[in-house]
Amino acid sequence: MASENAEINPNKRARQDSSILSGDVSKLNDLLDSSKQSLLHFKNALAGGFVSEITSLRNELNDMKIKLDEMEQYSRRNCLKIAGIPEEKDENTDTLVLNVINNLILKENTEKMSINEISRSHRVGKYNPKRKSRDIIVKFTTYRWRARIYGNKSNLKSIETNRSNLCERSPYFQKG
């Protein structure tokens, strides 16, 4: 009988151990589920904070872009783009622009512009020998001169309509 008890005891003991292990596994599963819930809650709270932070930063970035655009526009306030002036080798764009403004844009009875009224000028883009000319950007020292030149741009209309006569008289246009 003792041997029978020994045989029963291992089975009984195995069942008891299994029951204890089953309870421990159940507790571990509950703990894992609780940890998953806590982690998910923490993740959602963290993500919610990041979403609001990202939204705030995006709004701030858009505001900065608008302010930058306004500043760039204001910095170009004294500038004009002039097209149609043929390129020359080793040219001085200040002199070219000054000649076009004084000879073609401003009327004869008005005050002529001096080189001191041009802050800087340059051609736009890379040189391409296949193109006749690149545009010139001119920055005037004051907005008043820029407005005066822009206001007299209509004087060029009569030149464009009479281009064939102009080509013989003016070095600023070439026969097409």
pLDDT in tens, 84-137: 888 888 889 999 999 889 888 887 767 889 999 999 999 998 888 777 789 999
pLDDT at position 8 is 57
| pLDDT band for position 160 (cuts 50, 70, 90) | low
Residue 79 has pLDDT above 60, yes or no: yes
* Last residue of one domain, picked from the residues 48, 75, 102: 75
Spatial contact of 159 and 106, defined as CB atoms under 8 Å apart:
no
Q: Tell me the residue range of the domain where 85 lies.
A: 79-169
Position 33 in a domain: yes
Regarding whether 158 and 83 lie in a shared domain, the answer is yes
Position 39 in a domain: yes
- Residue 100 CA to residue 157 CA, distance in Å, equals 14
Q: Is the pTM of this model over 0.75?
A: no
pLDDT at position 137 is 94
Position 148 in a domain: yes
Nearest 5°: phi and psi at 146? -60, -45
Regarding whether 37 and 110 lie in a shared domain, the answer is no
Regarding whether 158 and 88 lie in a shared domain, the answer is yes
